[in-house]
């Protein structure tokens, strides 16, 4: 992967708001590095002056006080650096996470068809955590070690130029093999991460379908499949661990060699009288600083590469453009009273993945305010696609959809979707109370309005019987509702939103007679005073519709009332005979 640390520049916009904090962090960082560099120098004073025979006693205590002063300063500056840098890391990661999530939620269905939600989740968690490691620690560690390494190098040149040259030569000999080994470790750890992700993918698929798995008594097989994939993850982990063990051993061995070499040369110099013991101590310290700076920088470089990869993936996600063209100057349509008017003008659409099949083909039609249109047709006829186009989840390749006098691609997306509510076949109940669920489309609705909507959707009665009435917690960890009850909550949600256009996708599965009657009555109420498009599966619905549109293979084949179309004896008549639930 040709990732370079340059990709990290994608993070600049996220750093910008924190300029002051960045400045403070940099200051603490420099101060801490500076104090570390002062340490060996003070140590040399201690050895050469305080320890020298005949030095006054207060000389020694003075030297120790100096040392303590340096240590105290280092403590304060390091704490300050740690706090500001970690604070920055957390803040920036939180901002990044929110930005990516907010952006992903705005994507059109085409995006979600090509991107698995698991992948988005992994970017939101793993990739942002990698970025956090770099911003919140590695980067400052790198900078500190760069300053310290450079400082130690300068001090070495200043105090012992010849020795320094030798040390640098040996260091370079150490670095190349470490870099090579480090790369290998990184490659292996990437493979390992992929293998771990594979086994989580298996687990999540199986856990989501646990009842099917158990009904086919496939637990044993699934367990073995999981064990296999865990073993693959394990063996790739072992490869990484071996490479890492060699790397660690090599680094310790090589850096000790450098250190001992320096010590040996220094001791010779002290013995020859060309250098003092203090100078030797100082030099050894600087060499340690230099060597450890090199080691840390190697590590940091690895982290930065990984974070650069993560940043690239995040930026890619953050810069995916929704393929919908949003009009820069949206036209405002008047808010219709008594329902929207809707006109389809030769709408033609195919899915990006199926360019050779028109899902909707030259679809034209007009719906007047307040009308109820039942859309019927065999499975695959394009009914759902029509709804998706109305909500602008996709745009037609040709033709236009005009809502309340304005083409929908000229309307603001928010304005467009503000005008409609959908009651899907399988209503979604969010984790939250009954009230929160009904309020979903109008979070600021008053309690009276919520109750009125529940009343109109014939949901009042069963909600009152729930353990805590309207405050009952629903969703995964809460009370489970029956199919009919979920539908009535969804209808109440739509009624509360009070849009001029209602999109209904009737459930295909029949409810029991009692629930059926309630849901039907609720829908009747919901349709009052607005335009309704309903994907119909029930005889009662088509009989009451003002117009029926009969679709087949994306084309509008027939339209008219139930009686008219029955009399015609065409496609509708044959469909009606087979398809509708007579309830
Ligand atoms: P209906 O709701 O009437 O059963 P749809 O609108 O779901 O029909 O589907 C219309 C046609 O478009 C079908 O041929 C279907 O296979 C195809 N189709 C639906 N969704 C997609 C998609 N996301 N990608 C590709 N083809 C699709």
pLDDT at 510: 60
Contact of 243 with 184, CB cutoff 8 Å: yes
Compute, in angstroms, the gap from residue 495 CA to the centroid of ligand 1. Answer: 28
Compute, in angstroms, the gap from residue 357 CA to the centroid of ligand 1. Answer: 10
**Half-sphere exposure of 144 toward its Cβ, with a 13 Å CA cutoff?**
24
Cβ atoms within 10 A of the Cβ of 26, count?
15
Compute, in angstroms, the gap from residue 380 CA to the centroid of ligand 1. Answer: 5
Q: What mean pLDDT is predicted for residues 269-280?
A: 84
Pocket of ligand 1 contains residue 424 by CB under 6 Å: no
Compute, in angstroms, the gap from residue 384 CA to the centroid of ligand 1. Answer: 7
**Half-sphere exposure of 299 toward its Cβ, with a 13 Å CA cutoff?**
18
Pocket of ligand 1 contains residue 379 by CB under 6 Å: yes
Pocket of ligand 1 contains residue 359 by CB under 6 Å: yes
Q: What mean pLDDT is predicted for residues 337-352?
A: 93
Q: Which residues pair with 373 in a beta bridge?
A: 533, 547
Q: Indicate the SS3 state at residue 550.
A: strand
Query: Is the confidence at residue 412, as pLDDT, over 80?
Result: yes
pLDDT interval class at 426 (50, 70, 90)? confident
| Residue 279, token pair as written in the block | 């100078």
Compute, in angstroms, the gap from residue 243 CA to the centroid of ligand 1. Answer: 50
Which whole-number Å values give the CA distances from 421 to 10, 381, 457, 486, in the listed order? Answer: 38, 22, 14, 16
Contact of 419 with 404, CB cutoff 8 Å: yes
Q: What mean pLDDT is predicted for residues 554-575?
A: 90
Query: Is the confidence at residue 533, as pLDDT, over 70?
Result: yes
Contact of 500 with 449, CB cutoff 8 Å: no
Provide the H-helix boundaries in 56-138.
Answer: 57-105, 109-114, 117-122, 128-133
pLDDT at 1: 46
pLDDT at 509: 66
Atom of ligand 1 nearest to the CA of 377: 3
Compute, in angstroms, the gap from residue 113 CA to the centroid of ligand 1. Answer: 13
pLDDT interval class at 582 (50, 70, 90)? low
Higher pLDDT, 541 or 477: 541
pLDDT at 549: 96
pLDDT at 419: 94
Q: Indicate the SS3 state at residue 559.
A: strand
pLDDT at 561: 92
Compute, in angstroms, the gap from residue 386 CA to the centroid of ligand 1. Answer: 10
Q: Indicate the SS3 state at residue 52.
A: coil
Pocket of ligand 1 contains residue 356 by CB under 6 Å: no
44-76 residues labelled b (16+ CB within 10 A) or e (exposed): bbbbbebeeeeeeeeeeebbeebbeebeebbee
Pocket of ligand 1 contains residue 351 by CB under 6 Å: yes
Compute, in angstroms, the gap from residue 350 CA to the centroid of ligand 1. Answer: 9
Phi, psi of 535 (to 5 degrees): -80, 110
pLDDT at 512: 73
Compute, in angstroms, the gap from residue 537 CA to the centroid of ligand 1. Answer: 17
Higher pLDDT, 481 or 512: 481
Specify the long-range contacts of residues 78-84, CB closer than 8 Å, at least 24 apart. Answer: 78/28, 78/32, 80/24, 80/28, 80/31, 80/32, 81/25, 81/28, 81/29, 81/31, 81/32, 81/140, 81/144, 84/21, 84/24, 84/25, 84/28
Pocket of ligand 1 contains residue 382 by CB under 6 Å: yes
CA dihedral 520, 526, 529, 530 (to 10 degrees): -100
Compute, in angstroms, the gap from residue 354 CA to the centroid of ligand 1. Answer: 10
- Ligand 1: residue of 113, 351, 425 to mutate (most ligand atoms within 8 A of CB) is 351
d(CA 197, CA 342) in angstroms, rounded, equals 47
Atom of ligand 1 nearest to the CA of 360: 10
Atom of ligand 1 nearest to the CA of 385: 6
Q: What is the pLDDT of residues 28-85, one digit of tens each?
A: 999 998 998 888 888 888 888 877 777 777 888 888 898 899 999 999 999 999 999 9
Contact of 369 with 340, CB cutoff 8 Å: yes
Residue with CA closest to ligand 1 atom 16: 380
pLDDT interval class at 2 (50, 70, 90)? low
d(CA 215, CA 260) in angstroms, rounded, equals 68
Average pLDDT over all residues of the chain = 87
Q: What is the pLDDT of residues 177-203, one digit of tens each?
A: 777 877 787 788 778 877 887 888 888
Query: Is the confidence at residue 363, as pLDDT, over 90?
Result: yes
pLDDT interval class at 171 (50, 70, 90)? confident
**Half-sphere exposure of 109 toward its Cβ, with a 13 Å CA cutoff?**
12
Query: Is the confidence at residue 318, as pLDDT, over 80?
Result: yes
Atom of ligand 1 nearest to the CA of 535: 2
Compute, in angstroms, the gap from residue 388 CA to the centroid of ligand 1. Answer: 10
Residue with CA closest to ligand 1 atom 13: 380
Pocket of ligand 1 contains residue 339 by CB under 6 Å: no
Q: Which of 85-89, 193-197, 254-258 has the highest mean pLDDT?
A: 85-89
Pocket of ligand 1 contains residue 520 by CB under 6 Å: no
Query: Of all helices (H) and strands (E), which one includes residue 372?
Result: strand 372-376
Query: Is the confidence at residue 487, as pLDDT, over 80?
Result: yes
Pocket of ligand 1 contains residue 378 by CB under 6 Å: no
Query: Is the confidence at residue 476, as pLDDT, over 70?
Result: yes
Atom of ligand 1 nearest to the CA of 357: 14
Compute, in angstroms, the gap from residue 110 CA to the centroid of ligand 1. Answer: 13
Pocket of ligand 1 contains residue 319 by CB under 6 Å: no
Compute, in angstroms, the gap from residue 574 CA to the centroid of ligand 1. Answer: 22
**Half-sphere exposure of 7 toward its Cβ, with a 13 Å CA cutoff?**
20
- Ligand 1: residue of 374, 384, 534, 549 to mutate (most ligand atoms within 8 A of CB) is 384
Query: Of all helices (H) and strands (E), which one includes residue 556?
Result: strand 555-560
Q: What mean pLDDT is predicted for residues 402-411?
A: 93
Pocket of ligand 1 contains residue 354 by CB under 6 Å: yes
Contact of 441 with 496, CB cutoff 8 Å: yes
Q: What mean pLDDT is predicted for residues 513-533?
A: 84
Residue with CA closest to ligand 1 atom 19: 385
Provide the H-helix boundaries in 273-408.
Answer: 277-318, 383-390
| Residue 93, token pair as written in the block | 């990661």
Pocket of ligand 1 contains residue 384 by CB under 6 Å: yes
Question: For the CA atoms of the chain, what is the radius of gyration?
Answer: 36
pLDDT interval class at 313 (50, 70, 90)? confident
- Ligand 1: residue of 348, 349, 385 to mutate (most ligand atoms within 8 A of CB) is 385
Compute, in angstroms, the gap from residue 359 CA to the centroid of ligand 1. Answer: 6
HEC string of 148-169 equals HHHHHHHHHHHHCHHHHHHHHH
Burial class (CB in 10 A: 0-12, 13-18, 19+), 193: middle
Residue with CA closest to ligand 1 atom 5: 382
Compute, in angstroms, the gap from residue 383 CA to the centroid of ligand 1. Answer: 8
| Residue 434, token pair as written in the block | 């009954």
Pocket of ligand 1 contains residue 377 by CB under 6 Å: yes
Compute, in angstroms, the gap from residue 402 CA to the centroid of ligand 1. Answer: 22
């Amino acid at each position: 992967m040709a990732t370079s640390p340059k990709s990290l520049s994608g993070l600049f916009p996220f750093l910008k708001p924190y300029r002051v904090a960045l400045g403070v962090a940099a200051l603490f960082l420099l101060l801490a590095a500076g104090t570390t560099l002062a340490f060996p120098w003070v140590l040399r004073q201690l050895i050469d002056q305080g320890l020298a025979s005949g030095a006054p006693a207060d000389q020694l205590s003075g030297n120790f006080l100096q040392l303590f002063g340096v240590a105290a300063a280092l403590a304060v500056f390091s704490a300050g650096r740690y706090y500001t840098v970690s604070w920055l890391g957390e803040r920036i990661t939180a901002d990044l996470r929110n930005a990516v999530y907010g952006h992903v939620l705005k994507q059109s269905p085409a995006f979600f068809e090509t991107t698995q939600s698991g992948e988005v989740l992994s970017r939101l968690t793993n990739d942002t955590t990698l970025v956090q490691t770099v911003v919140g620690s590695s980067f400052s560690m790198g900078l500190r070690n760069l300053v310290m390494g450079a400082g130690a190098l300068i001090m070495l040149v200043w105090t012992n130029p010849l020795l320094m040259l030798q040390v640098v030569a040996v260091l370079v000999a150490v670095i190349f093999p470490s870099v090579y080994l480090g790369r290998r470790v990184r490659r292996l750890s990437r493979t390992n991460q992929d293998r771990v992700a594979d086994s989580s993918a298996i687990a999540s698929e199986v856990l989501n379908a646990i009842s099917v798995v158990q009904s086919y008594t496939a637990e044993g097989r699934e367990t073995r499949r999981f064990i296999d994939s865990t073993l693959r993850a394990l063996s790739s982990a072992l490869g990484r661990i071996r490479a890492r063990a060699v790397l660690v051993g090599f680094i310790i061995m090589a850096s000790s060699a450098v250190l001992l070499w320096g010590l040996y040369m220094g001791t010779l110099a002290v013995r020859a009288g060309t250098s003092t013991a203090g100078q030797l101590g100082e030099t050894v310290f600087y060499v340690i600083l230099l060597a450890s700076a090199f080691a840390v920088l190697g590590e940091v470089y690895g982290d930065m590469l990984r974070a650069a990869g993560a940043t690239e993936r995040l930026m890619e996600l953050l810069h995916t453009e929704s393929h919908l063209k949003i009009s820069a100057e949206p036209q405002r349509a008047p808010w219709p009273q008594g329902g929207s008017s809707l006109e389809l003008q030769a709408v033609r659409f195919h899915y990006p993945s199926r360019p050779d099949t028109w899902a909707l083909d030259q679809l034209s039609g007009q719906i007047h305010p307040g009308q109820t249109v039942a859309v019927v047709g065999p499975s695959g006829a394009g009914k759902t696609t029509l709804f998706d186009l109305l909500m602008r989840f996709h745009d037609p390749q040709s033709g236009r959809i005009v809502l309340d006098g304005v083409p929908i691609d000229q309307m603001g997306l928010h304005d467009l979707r503000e005008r409609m509510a959908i009651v899907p076949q399988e209503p979604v109940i969010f984790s939250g109370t009954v009230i929160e669920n009904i309020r979903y489309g109008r979070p600021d609705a008053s309690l009276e309005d919520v109750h009125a909507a529940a009343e109109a959707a014939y949901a009042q009665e069963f909600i009152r019987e729930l353990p805590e009435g309207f405050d009952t917690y629903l969703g995964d960890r809460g009370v489970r509702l029956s199919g009919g009850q979920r539908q009535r909550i969804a209808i109440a949600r739509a009624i509360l939103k009070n849009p001029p256009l209602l999109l209904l996708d009737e459930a295909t599965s029949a409810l029991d007679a009692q629930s059926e009657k309630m849901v039907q009555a609720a829908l009747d109420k919901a349709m009052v005073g607005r335009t309704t498009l309903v994907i119909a599966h029930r005889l009662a619905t088509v009989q009451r519709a003002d117009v029926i549109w009969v679709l087949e293979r994306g084309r509008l084949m027939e339209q008219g009332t139930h009686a008219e179309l029955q009399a015609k004896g065409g496609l509708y008549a044959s469909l009606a005979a087979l398809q509708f639930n007579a309830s």
